[in-house]
Amino acid sequence: MSENYNNIIETLDVIYAASGGKLKVFLTRKKDDPYKGYWILPSDFLKNDETLDDKAMEIYQKTTSLSNGKISQSKIFSDLNRYPDRRIIAQSYFAITDERLVTIKNENEESAWFDTDELPKLAYDHEAIILAVTKEVKTKIINNTDDILLDFFPNDFTLPELQKFYETVMGKKMDRRNFYKKFVSQDLVLDTGVKTAGSSGRPGVLYRFNVEKMRGKRV
């Protein structure tokens, strides 16, 4: 096959977390030109003896220092002018984790979580990539496709926190009493008995998802 058919592919990971009711994404800061100081998604080029899924998992593990996690394919970007020299195809993946599990190591590189509604200056077309992947992830959240809510909230949370997250994702306010009723009366959440403390105002009750009831549940 002629060399016209040789394509360069990079794999990109968009790593999400639900934190403080926000949908956040993990980015690192580019250390050298071009786009020095701009933020980028963790990525790597694909060799022709590697699978994309393996590569995406490798990037995820390297970025988060977590050994386990689920990654899912998202969109592919093949515009001819993504990069200046020659076309490089980007295959995006998304992963979901708990912000508290990721230790940010500032040795060689700077990295941080950003609210998806307040992204910093991003290199290349990474902003467009994040927007596209985020749109897809939001659709999955709204339909709870693949039980994605359990990935976002594997541990304890307060109902106000969950509600803020929903409001962020759906882009609209909801009534607190109705929100509580929906989750509590349908037994979708379990009361852990623990209360939050430290912040101003009345403490909240910590819940956790009732995995049995949530699995396959369209919320």
Partner DNA sequence: ACAAAAGTGTTAACTTTACACCCATGT
Partner DNA sequence: ACATGGGTGTAAAGTTAACACTTTTGT
> Residues interacting with DNA, by CB under 7 A?
158-161, 175-178, 180-182, 185-186, 195, 197-205
Element housing 55 (H / E): helix 52-64
Q: Provide the terminal-to-terminal Cα distance of the chain, rounded to the nearest Å.
A: 49
Q: Tell me, what DSSP letter sits at residue 27?
A: E
Binding mask 115-144 toward a copy of itself (x if CB under 8 A, else -) reads ------------------------x---x-
For 9-20, b where at least 16 C-beta lie within 10 A, e where not — what string? bbbbbbbbbbbe
Q: What is the DSSP letter of 101?
A: G
* CA 44 and chain centroid, separation: 18
Given a contact cutoff of 8 angstroms between Cβ atoms, the answer to whether 18 and 152 are in contact is yes
Residue number with CB closer to DNA (100 or 202) = 202
Write the binding mask 6 to 35 for a copy of itself: x where contact by CB under 8 A, - elsewhere. xxxx--------------------------
- Residue 155 contact among DNA, a copy of itself, none, beta carbon within 5 to 8 Å by kind: none
Of the two residues 104 and 142, which places its CB atom closer to a copy of itself in the complex? 142
User: Scanning residues 182 to 211, which ones bind a copy of itself (CB under 8 A)?
Assistant: none
Does the bond joining 203 to the residue before it have cis omega, within 30 degrees of 0?
A: no
Q: Using CB under 8 A, which of 79, 115, 191, 212 touches a copy of itself?
A: 79
The answer to whether 162 and 153 have CB atoms below 8 angstroms apart is yes
Binding site for a copy of itself (CB under 8 A): 1, 3-9, 45-49, 51-53, 73, 75-76, 78-80, 86-87, 89, 91, 139, 143, 145, 218
